[in-house]
Amino acid sequence: MNVEKIMQEVERKNPGEVEYLQAVREVLESIEEVVNENPHFETAGIIERIIDPDRVLTFKVPWVDDKGKVHVNRGFRVQFNNAIGPYKGGLRFHPSVNLSILKFLGFEQIFKNSLTTLPMGGGKGGSDFDPKGKSDNEIMRFCQAFMLELWKLIGPSTDVPAGDIGVGGREIGYMYGMYKKLASENTGVLTGKGINWGGSLIRPEATGFGNVYFAKEMLKTKNKDFNGKLVAVSGFGNVAWGAITKATELGAKVVTISGPDGYIYDPEGISGAKIDYLLELRASNQDIVKPYSYEFPSAQFIPGKKPWEVKVDIALPCATQNELDKNDAQMLIKNGCVCVSEGANMPCTPEAVELFLENKVLFGPGKAANAGGVATSGLEMTQNSMKLSWTREEVDEKLHHIMCSIHEACVKHGKDDDGFVNYVKGANVAGFLKVANAMLDQGIV
């Protein structure tokens, strides 16, 4: 396989789609060796077929604000690959949403979902709608207008969307309500649902919990653990919240959270009542990071900076793509950070990842380390099909087990002759092999 030649063609077909091209290159470089060892993948066109989404759907979403003004946003659903199960992946509502971002996320999702061991294909969707500052009614009207188009494309056995940035339990609720009305059915067509109407316990915190479970497994290979460690977390959304909660439970002290305008440094640790306060702010759609520093005197708000300059043992980037670059990686390494586990999707730039690997930092790539969210979505789908609900302990145990299996798969495919585990390679190869073999079995479709 000639990675450069394939990339030239992908660049020609998808000009300017920076994030998508970045994600494709990373996977191709990781799987090059295994594809060269298995020439039948190339003969069957697996690489070309896996790189291109099955279909990309865009639609207009007109909605009315509280003052009666009409706005028009763009909606998307990228159905990437369904070789091992129905398309599955979140919906993102954020002004930065474009096709490149959704294609990168959908592409990553194929391998992530494959790693979970559950039967789920890859997809992603969303809109450039900005939920910030919108009233509850405006959010509801937007979600309903979005579903008016999306419902034609999804179904419990075809495509099962979930949440992502800007889409939490409230938005899933409004979209599910509209789907149910339009389709005249009450099925598990979305995950992240409320507990009273088909949701799974642990789903909201699953991505963050899973990320910490994965980091715990990586640390274990070096006889280390979370107890007594200092941790830097970025963002304060669904993923960051779960990660902070679990890291604290395991005895670590989380000293940062962040937003787009800066970060909070709280040397006394962010836990307990402080997390409850942050959740209240989030629920009321308010700015989170700055008010925290007014409320808690131990905390300092550092404007325009990222948390990676703080001296910590473990870093958990949980906000957004490309939020940790080469300089940030250099600072973390210089300060003695031993483990970086991606809660967000592709938060570390390729240059940062390269530095971590060169310096033998334990580095967990998002497609493995944050797979706990979609894994628990898969568990929600199973509970919906079986028409029963598992307890919190049952779901958490299954999640923990899945994260350990993902770690094992990464070690199996990513360990080099010196015993160093390249988790990026391990995750890409393990995720790829399962999907590629399924595609081979199913013929040219």
Which sequence positions are flagged as catalytic? 124
- Distance of closest approach, residue 347 Cβ to ligand NDP, in angstroms: 7
> Of these, 53, 237, 364, 431, which contacts ligand NDP (CB under 6 A)?
237
Paired strand residues for 231: 254, 314
Pick the closer one to ligand NDP by CB: 7 or 281.
281
How far apart, in Å, do the first and last CA atoms of the chain sit?
22
Measure Cα distances from 378 to 154, 166, 342, 374, 375 in Å: 16, 21, 20, 6, 5
- Distance of closest approach, residue 376 Cβ to ligand NDP, in angstroms: 8
> Any contact of residue 165 with ligand NDP (CB under 6 A)?
yes
Query: In Å, how far from its chain's centre is CA 260?
Result: 18
For 358-394, give the DSSP string: HTT-EEE-HHHHTTHHHHHHHHHHHHHHHT----HHH
Q: Which of residues 315-374 bind ligand NDP (CB under 6 A)?
A: 318-320, 323, 343-345, 370, 373
Which of these ranges, 56-64, 145-153, 234-242, 400-408, lies near ligand NDP under the rule CB under 6 A?
234-242
- Distance of closest approach, residue 173 Cβ to ligand NDP, in angstroms: 15
How far, in Å, CA of 220 to CA of 226, rounded? 10
Which of these ranges, 171-179, 248-256, 313-321, 407-415, lies near ligand NDP under the rule CB under 6 A?
313-321
Of 176, 78, 177, the C-alpha closest to 127 is 78
> Of these, 86, 125, 161, 163, which contacts ligand NDP (CB under 6 A)?
163
Count the Cβ atoms, other than its own, within 10 Å of residue 159: 20
- Whether 371 and 403 have beta carbons less than 8 Å apart is answered as yes
Residues in contact with ligand NDP, counted by CB under 6 A, come to a total of 24
| Length of the chain, in residues | 445
**122 by DSSP, 3-state: which?**
strand
> Any contact of residue 79 with ligand NDP (CB under 6 A)?
no
- Distance of closest approach, residue 45 Cβ to ligand NDP, in angstroms: 29
> Any contact of residue 143 with ligand NDP (CB under 6 A)?
no
Which of these ranges, 30-38, 256-264, 388-396, 423-431, lies near ligand NDP under the rule CB under 6 A?
256-264
Which helix (H) or strand (E) segment holds residue 59: the answer is: strand 55-64
> Of these, 207, 245, 293, 384, which contacts ligand NDP (CB under 6 A)?
207
> Of these, 30, 234, 248, 256, which contacts ligand NDP (CB under 6 A)?
234
Of 342, 356, 340, 360, the C-alpha closest to 416 is 360
Pick the closer one to ligand NDP by CB: 318 or 439.
318
Residue 53 has φ and ψ, to the nearest 5°, of -65, 150
- Distance of closest approach, residue 120 Cβ to ligand NDP, in angstroms: 13
Which of these ranges, 77-85, 114-122, 257-265, 328-336, lies near ligand NDP under the rule CB under 6 A?
257-265
> Any contact of residue 260 with ligand NDP (CB under 6 A)?
yes
Pick the closer one to ligand NDP by CB: 361 or 375.
375
Measure Cα distances from 304 to 263, 264, 265, 274, 325 in Å: 8, 11, 13, 23, 15
- Distance of closest approach, residue 32 Cβ to ligand NDP, in angstroms: 26
The footprint of ligand NDP (CB under 6 A) covers 163-166, 207, 234-239, 258-260, 288, 318-320, 323, 343-345, 370, 373
